[in-house]
Structure 1
Amino acid sequence: MENVGRTAEPDKRRLRREFLAVRNGLTADVVAGTGRTLAERARDLPELARARTVAAYVSVGSEPPTRALLDALRARGARVLLPALLPDNDLDWGEYGGPDSLARIQHGGKMALFEPSGERLGPDAVTSADCVLLPGLAVDGRGMRLGRGGGSYDRVLARLDRAGAHPALVVLLYDTEVVDRVPAEAHDRPVHAVVTPSGVRRFRA
């Protein structure tokens, strides 16, 4: 298993660079249009439609936009939790109360993030979610997700496992980011569904 890890990580780093390069070449109009379409598709996803609590995130840069979806979820009465990055790359959580409840936080040399400005609920708050929206760069035919490499969401998934929590795991991507295969390590976990502008694909996670 150690050999698998040593082989997979360099491949992951290479793929991350490639996917980020494509994202960074997208125009503002394409990114904005993707956000509107994703909100429409994801809003009607059964896993989100019936969720009372959704753990989500605020997109930054050229990520598939999430803000329209956050507002749609909140408008229909869902409790929306958003992450706040901790110094060790773990995630705390706070409740989304609309655009005015966000603060732009610069974490050292990393990208600035938009985080909830209100009360912190603790890292375990995510275990109350009925659905977790995961950021990512790609997903393959098995539902294996390629993340950015910080490990924050690996900790989230491990925390859910320890708590015996089984929320729906959903990733939002551009169409070109659904691929045949991404490198996977022993700790990686598949998602249940991916939402792209062209539709929804489900996996047997």
Structure 2
Amino acid sequence: MTKDALRRELLARRRERGDDARWRDAAALAAGLPGVLDALDADPRRPLCLHVPVRREPGAAPDGAVPLLDAAVALGRRVLLPVTVGEAPLDWASFGGREDLVPGPHGLLEPGGARRGPGAIGDAAVVVVPALAATPGGVRLGRGGGHYDRSLPLAGPSTVLVALIGDDELLEELPAEPHDVLVDAVWRPGAGLLRTGARGTA
């Protein structure tokens, strides 16, 4: 199956998830964050690159709440969120609470504060990457916009890349291309963290 066909199938499946299931996923991710950071030995002095989940992405609560982001701030972690800049790699800005979010392109919410530049990802302890699916070997299927494809090569050698997917979105195989950056781990709301060993950093 092609990437585009897989994307259509996976997005259709996500649209079928009801509000109760979405609440459970969002709460499970927020509750599971401390354990994930401990398991990854995430240096508390370095920031976490997270994202605002949209539509039916894992972690997107039906009322627009962002429990995972709130949990990271409550732990005292520095949080950076992506800012979309055309076809360039993602920029990054700090998140301290929901009042920092402003409307961005593509229906996204983004932090409205000072931008830190695309290279800010290089200092991150962990980058949690949105995905439609992933494999146990670390192949990730995104939405096809290419924003993370352009940004992940800027991650530092010790930065841990984690694909965030639904519990039923871990697939044995996915189509991959030479430019695809493998992820070190896959995180699912109910199933928790799975290390892939793809880059040797997790």
- Aligned pairs for 1:24-103 (under 5 A) are 24-45=15-36, 46=38, 47=40, 50-51=43-44, 52-65=46-59, 67-88=66-87, 90-103=89-102
The answer to whether the Cα contact below 8 Å between 1:42 and 1:48 also exists between their aligned partners in 2 is: no
Runs of 4+ in 1 over 6 A off after TM superposition: none
The total of aligned residue pairs comes to 189
Q: Does 1:21 align with 2:12?
A: yes
The answer to whether the Cα contact below 8 Å between 1:41 and 1:195 also exists between their aligned partners in 2 is: no
TM-score (norm 2): 0.88
- Aligned pairs for 1:68-147 (under 5 A) are 68-88=67-87, 90-105=89-104, 107=105, 110=106, 112-147=107-142
Q: Amino acid of the residue matched to residue 31 of structure 1?
A: R
Larger mean Cα displacement after TM superposition, 182-191 or 84-93: 84-93
Residue aligned with 1:194, SS: strand
The answer to whether the Cα contact below 8 Å between 2:50 and 2:129 also exists between their aligned partners in 1 is: yes
Identity score, percent: 40
What runs of 5+ residues in structure 1 fail to find an aligned partner? Answer: 1-9
For residues 173-200 of structure 1, what are the alpha-carbon distances to aligned partners after superposition, in whole Å with 9 as ceiling and x for unaligned? Answer: 1111001111111111221111111222
What runs of 5+ residues in structure 2 fail to find an aligned partner? Answer: 61-65
Deviation at 1:89, TM superposition (A): 5.0
The answer to whether the Cα contact below 8 Å between 1:169 and 1:192 also exists between their aligned partners in 2 is: yes
TM-score (norm 1): 0.86
Deviation at 1:141, TM superposition (A): 2.1
Cα RMSD of the aligned pairs, angstroms, is 1.6
Distance change in 2, residues 1:89/1:18 (3 Å): farther
Deviation at 1:28, TM superposition (A): 1.6
